[in-house]
Structure 1
């Protein structure tokens, strides 16, 4: 019985270094973080400067800032289903949801959504009911 356990222990020690490249925290480690532009919610102003490109398997933090000029929301169920949400931070409170459908700001404030991009494809976030191109941001997960 001791021989199989000893063999299993040796096999674990023989794992190549490339299997450990994400470090202790795995995909949530700092070495796996990507940069992404923030989104600003303001009546009559563009959400962001242009389309956003993300890489599948990378961790991102989306900062959404509302200036309080109106009660504004963001919807994009396709995008929210293509990511895994680690946490949502509002006023220093961390929320760990199962998933998101949309977010809404009734007043001025900032929200941070930390997520892992998963499913490659073309997605969007937009202000519900809006028709203007500046009220929508296209997001590609590669």
Structure 2
């Protein structure tokens, strides 16, 4: 066994010119992030606007399961407004929520509320196919509801 380890180490040194166990200070191996979190798998969505009497979005969202998305929620402070959509939040994996440079990595969400003007950005991976929504609670108008389909 000992001879096999010595032989393997000597072979690595002979083939690479360095010790296989030596630390490499250059951590960039050129591969980048893999899979779901890679830059090639990321899409930006249009912002959701929270403003009294204004539509949340211009059009419904159609998302692809397994794709990483980012979107901003912009509240103008015209009224205390919230967004609910627990079914949607359970159909995605929330990577992070960024508020004024602070990154929050929650285990889950149920709703979001703006008491004053501000912005937040949410990064997530769409997981479970289906039809979902985000809406202003208590509202009945179509403009206060964002239809979301995950394919």
TM norm. shorter chain > 0.5: yes
TM range (shorter): 0.7 to 0.9
CA separation in 1, counterparts of 2:95 and 2:32? 17
Residue segments in structure 1 that go unaligned for 5+ positions in a row: 7-22
Partner of 2:23: none
1:139 equivalent in structure 2: 148
Q: Which residue of 2 aligns with 1:24?
A: 32
Match of 1:66 among 70, 75, 82: 75
Displacement of 1:105 after TM fit? 0.4
TM-score normalised by length of structure 1 = 0.83
Residues 10-56 of structure 1: CA deviation (Å, up to 9, x unaligned): xxxxxxxxxxxxx5322111110123111000000000012111111
Residue 36 of structure 1 pairs with residue 49 of structure 2: no
**2:102 paired residue number:** 93
Greater Cα radius of gyration, structure 1 or 2: 2
After the TM superposition, which residues 10-21 of structure 1 pair with which residues of structure 2 at under 5 Å, given as runs? none
- Once the two structures are TM-superposed, the CA of residue 129 in structure 1 deviates from its matched residue by 0.6
- Aligned partners of 1:107, 1:115: CA distance in 2, in Å? 24
Say yes or no: does 1:46 pair with 2:55. yes
What is the alpha-carbon root mean square deviation over aligned residues? Answer: 1.5
TM-score, reference length from structure 2? 0.78
Matched, 1:124 2:139: no
Distance in 2 between residues matched to 1:93 and 1:120, nearest whole Å: 30
CA distance in 2, matches of 1:68, 1:29: 35
Q: How many equivalent residue pairs?
A: 124
Structure 2, unpaired ranges of 5+: 9-30
